[in-house]
Amino acid sequence: MPFVLCVHQPLDKSISSIGASRLRLSRIPALDCFSLLASRSPDCSEPGPGLVSGFSPPIGAPPAPFRGTVVAQLPAPLTAATPSATASRLPDRPLRVAILGATGAVGQELLDLLEEREFPVGELIPLASPRSAGQPLHWRGHDYTISEVTAEAFAGVDLVLASAGGSTSRTWAPVAAKAGAVVIDNSSAFRMDPAVPLVVPEVNPEAAFAHQGIIANPNCTTILMTLALAPLAARRSIRRVVVSTYQSASGAGARAMEELRQLSRTVLDGGVPVSEVLPYPLAFNLFLHNSPLQDNAYCEEELKMLYETRKIMGLPDLRVSATCVRVPVLRAHSEAINVEFEAPFPVEEARALLAAAPGVELIEDFGSNRFPMPTDVTGRDPVAIGRIRQDLSHPQALEFWLCGDQIRKGAALNAIQIAELLQSPTSGGR
């Protein structure tokens, strides 16, 4: 049964503005693909070197075989065990909000966005590891002391926004959920768990209402890409996606951003850069993404784009091939995307769909060769798309370029939009 996506208005400060026309990719079923091993070194999370066990068979195995044209399906109805829409909502009142990982780059952006978007915070509980506990924090005119995360810290908390790495989330997210909080987790810990929704509000908002206490925030590169793919998939079924990413230092955390600044000065002063945070110096350099390589010669980051995109869009057989590269940019990712459809897709039709898509803006000036750049989106919410063109090598494929702020839409903003969706009285639920 094909789905229908309605993409008619921009995503403003309240997700509820989408109303009856909002996208209806909902309740993603368990996928017949291999899950990613959770790591403490994903983009959009705290950096760290090691793999830990997750919910998956070996990641090096090949993806599920392609079985013809990909046609989106509405998932099967939820079972009675799934929480009701009412139970899955956040209370319509000022909330007790805990920020887990308040000292990191994404944690700081979460705090800024909560204030900027006037999210109804009745009480803020900033939490962090023992290493960061005790640090002062100033927010909305009040002084706080960051507390060490403990089970007692979640008592009476309504919402936990977690961005402290996979191992921390695996330890504390279930504790917070058991205490009654809704946890929106920015790590890779739960993304491929079939019981945990993986949500991009502009793409599959209704999936959020099937949560059982934990909602996963997708990988940053996946969020940006699905924002562009969803309106196109509404019009033509997608056969294959080939993407190359150009990922900023911010994806590896605040320490990587500072290292890029410092090593850039070192190079400009004639010195030899020595990296301590990233595996290689990023200043005036680039390298293939440093997440662990798998047996199939893809790295974790590249396979996240495959499996997470399948889950979010409800396309378990979608073919995706990614090449992920770390580049010397502070905080905005870029992606070159080639999409093959089941039938030819006129460029102007695709351009009109993307121009109307929520969370997207077009930057295109072919006359002056001006298209999206990281500086266009740094510190901003929209994902900028441009240079939409016919693939000369394939009559049913289009190519385009996008840029998006990795810390905002690629992480913190998406998490807060999920929370806004759960609290909105007009979002419709399930």
Indicate which residues carry an active-site annotation: 220, 333
Note the Cα 265 to chain centre separation in Å: 31
Write phi, then psi, for 356 (nearest 5 degrees): -90, -5
Write phi, then psi, for 183 (nearest 5 degrees): -105, 125
Amino acid at 298: Y
- How many Å apart are CA 135 and CA 132, to the nearest integer? 6
Listed in sequence order, the residues at least 6 apart from 109 whose beta carbon sits closer than 8 Å to its beta carbon are 407, 408, 411, 412, 413
Return the SS3 of 417. Answer: helix
Q: What are the respective helix, strand and coil percentages of the chain, to the nearest 5? A: 30, 20, 50
160 to each of 142, 172, 173, 281, how far by Cα in Å?
20, 10, 8, 35
- How many Å apart are CA 327 and CA 310, to the nearest integer? 26
The DSSP-derived string for 54-115 is: -S-S-TTSPPPPP-SS----PPPPPPTTSPPHHHHSPPSS-EEEEEETTTSHHHHHHHHHHH
Kind of pairing, strands 332-341 and 238-247?
antiparallel
Q: Residue 317 gets which letter from DSSP? A: T
End-to-end CA distance of the chain: 18
Say if CB 93 and CB 157 are below 8 A apart: no
Say if CB 166 and CB 42 are below 8 A apart: yes
Long-range contacts of 195-199, Cβ-Cβ distance < 8 Å, separation of 24 or more: 197/28, 198/28, 198/308, 198/311, 198/312, 199/312, 199/414, 199/418
Q: Which residues pair with 319 in a beta bridge?
A: 240
